[in-house]
Amino acid sequence: RGRRLFATAGRKDFRGFVFEELLELGLCPVEAWDRFAKANGTRPVDAYVGEQFESPDSPTDYWADHFSPHFSKTAAVGALPGVTAVFGSKRSYATFYRNCSAARRCPAAWLTSFNVDGDEDLWKTDPVAFRRKRLRRGQIDGFGEILNELRRERAAGRFPLVWIVKPQQNTYLSRGMHLAKLFAGDVETAGAFLKWVEGHYTDRTCKGRGYAEAAVRCNRRRVSFQRYVEDPALLRGRKFDVRLWVLVASVDPLKVFLLRHGYPKAASLAVRGP
């Protein structure tokens, strides 16, 4: 009685730093809502920090939904309706880029990005058919616009270009991600560009391998292609990033809280070029 309850998503950063911070704030964790509800009735959760509810990685428990009665009326919920579709995933970022590019409103520093749709289930159910099926132009978002944009890059002397290919689901630990290099001849014709995308939207080591043998890297066909950052900021010669969590409590006036513990990561090897 009187306890404030919280829940987090299962990803390691939420279960690590965020979980520990909420404990320090005096909140009590709800490890399994079903078991908790049986023992405590309908006591609602006061805080949730984790995946967006539209994300395939969000909690599967029935309480994980916007405006759920299992949240208290004053609950702090770290998920916003509609954010995943607009700017909360690899797929939505590429779509956002295409829309702002078409309107000629993208900042120059933004990286070119596009989506490739495919047959996620076909690989699992019929690997032979998967290998035989050809990629179609309609499966590449904004195919014509992307090709014209790349030809302008070629004319400006910026080729070859390096891309990072990212599966759109279950990409934790960078599973399935790989690099691909685009040469001038690959955008000479629409067919050449289509062939290049088809040759790189799964890891090249997947060629001819069975599903069971290469399940981790090769069973995804919905991917995002994004220009690789070739001149990143470095820490003692190594790539790095820092993940931070913020709470925007008010926009006008602006009031933002920053979690005091970040989640730093650094590469184990020094950069030697793409």
Using one digit for the tens of pLDDT, what is the confidence trace for 30-62? 765 555 555 555 667 888 887 777 766 666 555
**Single-letter residue type at 164:** I
Reported as a pLDDT band with limits 50, 70 and 90, residue 93 is confident
- As given in the structure block, the two tokens for residue 46 are 């006061």
Asked if 200 and 234 touch (Cβ cutoff 8 Å), the reply is: no
The model's confidence at residue 108, banded by pLDDT at 50, 70 and 90, is confident
Q: What is the mean pLDDT of residues 249-257?
A: 87
Helices 90-102 + 143-155 axis angle, to 10: 70
Neighbours of 102 (CB within 10 A): 11
Q: State residue 186's pLDDT score.
A: 95
pLDDT, mean over the chain:
76
Q: 3-class DSSP state for residue 138?
A: helix
pLDDT of the residue at 50:
78
Report residue 179 as tokens. 């690099």
**149 CB burial (10 A radius; 0-12, 13-18, 19+):** middle
Look up residue 39 and give its amino acid: A
For residue 154, which amino acid is it?
A: R
> Bigger pLDDT: 238 or 94?
238
Place of tokens 């070119």: 112
Q: Looking at residue 216, what is its pLDDT?
A: 44
* pLDDT-above-90 percentage for the chain: 15
Rounded CA-CA distance 76/78 in Å is 7
Runs of H (alpha helix) within 7-82: 12-13, 19-24, 33-40
Task: Tell me if 95 sits within 8 A of 172, measured CB to CB.
Answer: no
Strand order through the sheet with 113-116: 113-116, 223-227, 161-167, 178-182
Q: Report d(CA 241, CA 243) in Å as an integer.
A: 7
Helix, strand and coil content of the chain, in percent to the nearest 5, comes to: 35, 20, 45
Q: What is the largest CA-CA distance in the chain?
A: 70
**pLDDT, tens digit (0-9, with 9 covering 90-100), for 187-238:** 999 999 998 998 887 655 555 544 444 444 455 567 889 888 888 889 999 9
Q: What is the dihedral of CA 67, 70, 73, 74, to 10 degrees?
A: -100
What is d(CA 38, CA 40) in angstroms, rounded to the nearest whole number? 6
Coil, strand or helix at 177: coil
